[in-house]
Amino acid sequence: MSTIALAPSAPSPADPALVRAIEQRTSVSLFAPDQPVAEAQIAEMVRLATRAPSAFNLQNWRFIAVRSAPAKARLRELAWNQPKVTEAAVVFIVVGAPPNPAEIADRLAPSIAAGFMPPHMPAAWSDFAQELYAQYPQTARDEAVRTATLGAANLMLAAQAMGLASGPMSGFEPDGVADAFGLAAAELPVLLVAVGHAAPGNWPQKPRRPVSDVLSFA
């Protein structure tokens, strides 16, 4: 693998609205505490979050929208006392679960009903997943983190597209959060994502390392 010197970036041919959401998203710390986010908006963000990909389309994620004052206060105690946990309108606990191959048939049934997936495929995927995760248990845990992380990324872009601000956090006590919010034994609280209306005073998106530092070709 080698890194290369890249030419200055050319104008992007990509969808400008999507590029704008990516470029304008920031990790917000200061939220306007008195501006709520409607339940319908919360549901829409989660609908868009779940358009993220997941292994075998298992969709092994869950989103707990923490929005009541007592629940947010409890979560803040478990999240290093970060003020945005109580100031943002809602804080999502993005939960990942290790993949359960027995659920593949159900999760793929709509793809068969839609007519593009051959009916024999879910059983084949399920057998393969069974073997894979039995042989590599760490992969199952990794998959929980990967799936939830991709869901969280979509969630933040969805918030951005809806004119809201977001802030991801891994600064929390996972066991405490799992306990306080009733996660199942195998479930992992992967990320917290605060969402709400930004208050004045937030930083812009921080400059990123040059592409030439992080891109290599093989």
Q: Which residues bind ligand FMN (CB under 6 A)?
A: 26-27, 29, 82, 168-171, 205-206
| Residue 59 Ramachandran class (φ > 0 left, ψ -120 to 50 alpha, else beta) | left
Question: What is the smallest separation between the CB atom of 66 and ligand FMN, expressed in angstroms?
Answer: 15
Amino acid 87 reads: E
Give, rounded to a whole angstrom, the gap between the first and last alpha carbons of the chain: 5
DSSP state of 88: S
Of the two residues 108 and 156, which places its CB atom closer to ligand FMN in the complex?
156
Per-residue exposure over 26-61, b if at least 16 CB sit within 10 Å of its own CB, e if not = bbbbbbeeeeebeeebbeebbebbeebebbbebbbb
Question: What is the smallest separation between the CB atom of 12 and ligand FMN, expressed in angstroms?
Answer: 19
Of the two residues 84 and 107, which places its CB atom closer to ligand FMN in the complex?
84
Which residue's CB atom is positioned nearest to ligand FMN?
Answer: 171
Q: Cα-Cα-Cα-Cα dihedral of 196, 199, 203, 208, to 10°?
A: 20
Question: What is the smallest separation between the CB atom of 191 and ligand FMN, expressed in angstroms?
Answer: 6
Of the two residues 29 and 60, which places its CB atom closer to ligand FMN in the complex?
29
Question: What is the smallest separation between the CB atom of 99 and ligand FMN, expressed in angstroms?
Answer: 21
Of the two residues 73 and 109, which places its CB atom closer to ligand FMN in the complex?
73
